[in-house]
Amino acid sequence: MPTHLVFITGATGFIGAHIATNVLKAGYRVRLSVRRTDQIQKLKQFFSDFSDQLDFILVPDFTKPNAFVEAVRDVHFVIHVASPMLGQGSDFKRDFIDPAVEGTMSVLNAAKSVPSVERVLVMSSVLALIPLGALWGPPLSVEENSDTTIEVDVNMPIPDDEVGHTIKYQGSKILAHQATKDWLKKTNPGSSVLTFHPTFVIGPSLFQTKPEQIDSINKFLLDTVRTGNIVIPPVFVDVRDVADAFIKALTVPVPNGQEFIVSGHPTSWGEVGAEAKRLYPDAGFKLEPPPDEKSTLTVSNRAASELLGVRWRSQKELVDGVLNQQLSLEA
């Protein structure tokens, strides 16, 4: 029911902004949490068309046990998106694990304490469903609700490079998701809890105004088609499809504890490169089809497709969602 109140964390981010926009367009009242007061004015300006549906609450430290008690008062739905981002921070426990795990637990416990909360949607990642470092291993197939426990050594040595940054990010996602599953088993919440596990999220940014503000995965795709240097498997989802999955999940009847892998149509780097060249033949893109290309990661989006009814954007829309915005800003 659109008059219901939805609490959202992480609306200042790439994915969260799209989710908040969809929720507001659907007519819901929305409460956004921010870490700093200056973020309120930015969001007020961006969502100026929805000022009568919107309010804000300051939550400076997500890791505190009662951080979200006031934020969820009178709320019907909770969407928790905020979490440490890839490459933002250096200390594995302080900068990644604690904000991801304790932040999620704080949201869940706050939601459990409020009888009006009907459903909690938690943003995770497909990386939470695979062993640590598996992106660089042999081919792997991933499905939802496998109930697998993935071990993470919080004291392991981690290199200070791109691989190390990814391991820290993935480790925090694994531990936060495991904590969510454990919480559900031990608790009897009055609300249902659903988790979302996107693959690599790309697409147009609602906040980007300069070329250098490009979001991390968008930059991976752009750099790959420009240089031909492949660093991640080609398992993508459009950020607009992610937002669509969340808005549908507010009201569609689904089992409590359901995991949703959110990923677009299967593709390859060869197909992505060919699409980029078809769309922008004068851009000088260098990506060529890799010989005997095989993705190291195969995923099933069955639950999001069948239970939520998500209709995935075409490969053309997926690729152009990144390139059109970036090339326009660079012009």
Model confidence over 242-272: pLDDT tens digits? 999 999 999 999 999 999 999 999 999 999 9
Q: What is the pLDDT of residues 97-151, one digit of tens each?
A: 999 999 999 999 999 999 999 999 999 999 999 999 888 888 999 999 988 899 9
Closest of 44, 73, 76, 58 to residue 9, by C-alpha: 58
Which letter does DSSP use for residue 79 in this model?
A: E
User: What number of residues does the chain have?
Assistant: 331
Confidence of residue 2 (pLDDT cuts 50, 70, 90): low
The model's pTM is: 0.96
Q: What is the pLDDT of residues 51-92, one digit of tens each?
A: 999 999 999 999 998 999 999 999 999 999 999 988 788 899
Closest of 32, 40, 130, 134 to residue 79, by C-alpha: 32
Q: What is the pLDDT of residues 144-182, one digit of tens each?
A: 998 889 999 999 999 888 889 999 999 999 999 999 999
Q: What is the pLDDT of residue 87?
A: 75
Q: Which two tokens stand for residue 184?
A: 């559900």
The CATH code for residues 5-203+235-265+299-312 is: 3.40.50.720
**Is residue 1 scored above 80 in pLDDT?**
no
Q: What is the pLDDT of residue 118?
A: 97
Closest of 197, 210, 82 to residue 128, by C-alpha: 197
| Top-confidence residue, 137 or 204 | 204
